[in-house]
Amino acid sequence: MDTTFDTTSLKLKKEYPDAEDFLPLNGTDYVELYVGNAKQAAHFYKTAFGFQSVAYAGLETGIKDRVSYVLQQDKIRLVLTSPLSPGGEVNHHLDNHGDGVKNVALWVDDATKSWQETTKRGAESAFEPKTINDQNGKVVMSGIKTYGDTVHIFIERSEYDGPFMPGYKEWKSEYNPAPAGLKYIDHMVGNVGWGEMNKWVEFYAKVMGFAQLISFDDKDISTDYTALMSKVMTNGNGRIKFPINEPAEGKKKSQIEEYLDFYRGPGVQHIAVATDNIIETVNQLRDRGVEFLHVPTTYYDDLIDRVGPIDEDLSELKKLGILIDRDDEGYLLQLFTKPVADRPTLFFEIIQRKGARSFGKGNFKALFEAIEREQELRGTL
Binding window for Fe ion (CB under 5 A); candidates: 163-171, 195-203, 223-231, 267-275: 267-275
Q: Which of 272, 274, 285, 323 touches Fe ion by CB under 5 A?
A: 272
**Residue 349: CB minimum distance to Fe ion, A:** 5
How many CB atoms neighbour CB 234 within 10 A? 25
- Rounded Cα–Cα distance for residues 358 and 45 (Å): 27
Quick check: helix, strand or coil at residue 336?
Answer: strand
With respect to Fe ion, which residue has the nearer C-beta, 149 or 325? 325
DSSP string, 64-101: -SEEEEEEEETTEEEEEEEESSSSHHHHHHHHHHSSEE
DSSP string, 8-40: HHHHHHHH-TTS--SS-EEEEEEEEEE-S-HHH
Asked if 278 interacts with Fe ion (CB under 5 A), we say no
With respect to Fe ion, which residue has the nearer C-beta, 84 or 320? 320
With respect to Fe ion, which residue has the nearer C-beta, 48 or 274? 274
Number of residues engaging Fe ion in binding (CB under 5 A) = 2
With respect to Fe ion, which residue has the nearer C-beta, 186 or 258? 186
209: left (phi over 0), alpha (psi -120 to 50) or beta: left
Asked if 332 interacts with Fe ion (CB under 5 A), we say no
- Please choose, from the candidates 296, 357, 353, 294, the residue with its C-alpha nearest in 3D space to the C-alpha of residue 324: 353
**Residue 187: CB minimum distance to Fe ion, A:** 6
Cβ atoms of 181 and 277 within 8 Å: the answer is: yes
With respect to Fe ion, which residue has the nearer C-beta, 154 or 263? 263
Read off the amino acid at residue 55.
Answer: A
Binders in 166-195 for Fe ion, by CB under 5 A: none
Q: Which of 29, 257, 349, 372 touches Fe ion by CB under 5 A?
A: 349
Using CB atoms within 10 A of its CB, is residue 224 exposed (0-12), middle (13-18) or buried (19+)?
exposed
Q: Is the dihedral of CA 372, 376, 380, 381 positive or negative?
A: positive
With respect to Fe ion, which residue has the nearer C-beta, 29 or 349? 349
**Residue 272: CB minimum distance to Fe ion, A:** 4
- Rounded Cα–Cα distance for residues 274 and 141 (Å): 27
- Rounded Cα–Cα distance for residues 251 and 180 (Å): 39
Binding window for Fe ion (CB under 5 A); candidates: 28-36, 249-257, 347-355, 371-379: 347-355
Binding window for Fe ion (CB under 5 A); candidates: 19-27, 50-58, 211-219, 345-353: 345-353
Binding window for Fe ion (CB under 5 A); candidates: 91-99, 134-142, 231-239, 341-349: 341-349
- Rounded Cα–Cα distance for residues 59 and 153 (Å): 24
Asked if 227 interacts with Fe ion (CB under 5 A), we say no
**Residue 57: CB minimum distance to Fe ion, A:** 31
**Residue 359: CB minimum distance to Fe ion, A:** 5
With respect to Fe ion, which residue has the nearer C-beta, 31 or 70? 31
**Residue 214: CB minimum distance to Fe ion, A:** 12
With respect to Fe ion, which residue has the nearer C-beta, 258 or 349? 349
With respect to Fe ion, which residue has the nearer C-beta, 123 or 221? 221
**Residue 351: CB minimum distance to Fe ion, A:** 7
What are the backbone dihedrals phi and psi of residue 339, each rounded to the nearest 5 degrees, phi first? -55, 140
Asked if 123 interacts with Fe ion (CB under 5 A), we say no
Cβ atoms of 218 and 228 within 8 Å: the answer is: yes
Chain residues binding Fe ion by CB under 5 A are 272, 349
